[in-house]
Chain A
């Protein structure tokens, strides 16, 4: 294992921002993969999975099992992690909205540029992503159609769902899109609940990373087969919204199989305690995402159900 300084960025008053990478199998001839962990300060689950994976790889290296080249960068925005904030603490910009970066630009563009430079030349790129809303979800692969994506590689993770869809304009400044355009087969693993560590999801993502590397001959280990992934698009997802604002109680867990007519959650008035609403499944399927904050806004998406059309 080689510990790399990806960037060292001075601050006016606090200690420098140091982003570290852990490199394995530098000399090996096999395929290469880079993994990026927490880009936001609330992506603690992503940090947890990445750092645990570094420790796992260190052991595999001792056993001589590394046959490809692997770079893991567990955390990018350590300044935000250390302050319990999601974004860059001075100007509140999101590093994952600054790609491909610009070395002569604003601070977070420079950070993104340095990071992006260190991610070049890898065959595969895996981004451990948190959610961008107050939700939690069954871990899934997010793969956008840039024209350079690799759906077959995504299937080697053996995750239950691959959400495969067109990209939105804001995604053109995010890492996955740019990484794909610059020639790495990049994808995102989205999981967890921001600000928390979920052990079951972490296990699942860890398992998927190991499986991917075994199948792509980056690691010489034996693994169980995962799911034969369901490739779904926006058409397969039913959104269930809360018609009322108030206190939200969920009665189900992500990954549950839902039957039509099942009660998924309840909303009560936050002051009078009056029962305002039961959220009922209009069709059967698998619960993929749910709202995770106890207070819910009117018209917020409370649940997402994936169904076979």
Chain B
């Protein structure tokens, strides 16, 4: 059985503490230095990771004799946000994933970030589970900065996800949890899957299998590796962004996660007032629609989908 520990606590003004808790599982023969951290809820409106944490905890409780190293589960980093449907840190309205590595000498969000880093520093691996946001639905994918490609892609391939997306390094992303942890030597993968404020059971189970497989391969669990899917690699093709050309109500014509052909209709943007169809969103390339808008109100520029197409 795991031990629940409080790793960060700070008094709030009126009779409450902001806290971060983890559940730690250790091998029967005692604690080891080898450690993995499973993290969710850096964004308070992303809940898919909470379900994965539950599933993993349930599995570990049922299989304590398979645990070979320390496994820490942190389901709720932005605990205040999770319990109030707030993406950012309430009161400050700051995106927690833009203040890492944080500091003890800065405002509350930075102190939380610092607390998170101190708690997880020394982990060999960290898996940071996000669910896109409330606007977009994503297939299970891992996003990796180009500079980390060599170390992280082999690890991501074990995670039973559908897509590994290696992107160019952008300076602003240096303030993310993943960047801070990778800099400290913890191999950190960022998983994006599902949609904000909702739960997808299938994705949860898919990622559980991936986590078990990764932990088997990396020596955290004494089980046979699982038979997992091999993700599509972004370097073999290109990502096309579909942005709304005008404001209105976006009505998808197809389901998420479909193979579509170049020129086919992804959805329509309609005007509820005049009853007109304002625009059709057309696939600029053929491939897999791995992102699809879930929240229908769009402005000009709102992302409505992303397609990954393999080069011929």
Contacts and interface: CB of A to CB of B under 8 A. Distances in A.
Interface string A195-234: 0000000000000000000000000000000000000000
Contacts of B11: 244-245, 297-298
B249 A12 contact: yes
A4 interface: no
Contacts of B241: 104
A239 B104 CA distance: 11
A79 to B, nearest CB: 10
A51 to B, nearest CB: 25
A10 B297 CA distance: 13
A63 to B, nearest CB: 42
Interface stretch (B12-20, B51-59, B199-207, B210-218): B12-20
Contact of B12 (A87, A169, A245): A245
A298 B248 CA distance: 45
| A interface, size bucket | 35 or more
B113 to A, nearest CB: 12
Interface in B80-126: 87-88, 91-94, 98, 104-108, 111
B10 interface: yes
Interface in B226-283: 241, 243, 246-249, 273
A40 to B, nearest CB: 10
B278 to A, nearest CB: 10
Nearest to B302: A107
B10 A92 contact: no
Nearest to B13: A295
Contacts of A109: 301
Size class of B's contact patch? 35 or more
Interface stretch (B24-32, B142-150, B167-175): B167-175
A92 B85 CA distance: 13
A300 to B, nearest CB: 6
Interface in A275-307: 295-301
A9 B15 contact: no
Contacts of A172: 171-172
27 contacts: A10-B300, A11-B299, A12-B297, A90-B299, A91-B135, A92-B88, A104-B243, A105-B301, A106-B302, A133-B92, A133-B107, A169-B172, A169-B174, A172-B171, A172-B172, A173-B171, A244-B11, A245-B13, A246-B13, A247-B13, A270-B13, A270-B14, A295-B13, A298-B11, A298-B12, A299-B10, A300-B107
Given A86-B93, A105-B301, A107-B299, 8 more contacts: A10-B247, A87-B93, A90-B299, A245-B10, A245-B12, A245-B13, A245-B14, A298-B11
